[in-house]
Amino acid sequence: MSNFIENQNWRYATKKFDATKKIATEDLNILKEAIRLSSSSYGLQPYQIIIVENPELRAKIQPAAWGQSQITEASHLIIFANKTKLENTDIDDYINTISTVRNIPVASIEGYGDFMKSKIVSLPDDSKNIWTSKQTYLALGNLLNAAAELKIDVTPMEGFVPEQVNEILGLEKLNLNTSLIATLGYRHEADDTQHYKKVRKSEEELFITL
């Protein structure tokens, strides 16, 4: 755990990446697996993870992300896209996957599926989209922690225009919406931000024990 805390102090939202340094395939696979294994409500994972490698696409996305240089300079660009339409069939597919992976009859978990449908599918569309978007933040957390262990920098971003990114990537026709962006790579020596002391609330300010 001491290494974990040390790595959390090491990480920061990188402002300038070294465009000459690329993440090795082996390390990228570890990060992908960390995202895949992330917790989510019900284990449903109502999102898609899009890795944008095409430099032309990344150049198009940059203006929609407030012109931030990380979009094009980072080794990798990841889009967390939440589902905008979550329906009964999505729950049924998940129940079938549970049945296959755990080798149990579908009938034995149909009640669980019905419960999910009553709590999620019945929500108004706006509430449902907020819920699916929130799930992407859990996956981002796993990415941040795993990357810090590998000494790979990540900049999580909310500074972008979702509608524009959706249009560039054709996400609307897939019933997806850009919820979060994360750029991954290695900090540039010229990024002075890496030397700034981390600013967080004190333990006394942050925690309430009842």
Give the end-to-end CA distance of the chain in Å, rounded to a whole number. Answer: 26
Strand (E) positions, the chain? 47-52, 76-83, 153-157, 176-185
Q: What 3-state class would DSSP assign to 176? A: strand
In this predicted structure, the answer to whether residue 2 has a pLDDT above a threshold of 80 is no
Instruction: Return the domain boundaries, the chain.
Output: 2-206
In this predicted structure, the answer to whether residue 85 has a pLDDT above a threshold of 90 is yes
Please, what sign has the CA dihedral across residues 85, 87, 91, 94?
negative
**80 confidence band (pLDDT: 50, 70, 90):** very high
Give the C-alpha separation, 24 to 75, whole Å: 10
Q: Which fold has domain 2-206?
A: NADH Oxidase (3.40.109)
Give the C-alpha separation, 22 to 20, whole Å: 7
What average pLDDT does the chain have?
Answer: 97
For position 34, what pLDDT does the model report?
A: 98
For position 1, what pLDDT does the model report?
A: 61
State the Cα angle at 61 between 45 and 8, rounded to 5°. Answer: 55
pLDDT (mean) for 124-138? 96
pLDDT (mean) for 69-92? 97
Integer Rg of the chain from CA: 19
Amino acid at 32: K
- 163 with 178: CB under 8 angstroms? no
Q: List pLDDT tens digits, range 7-34.
A: 999 999 999 999 999 999 999 999 999 9
Q: 158: which strand partners?
A: none
Q: Please report, for residues 68, 95, 109, 194, 203, the alpha-carbon distance to residue 171 in angstroms, rounded to integers and kept in the order given.
A: 21, 25, 32, 34, 41
Whole-number percent of the chain with pLDDT over 90: 99
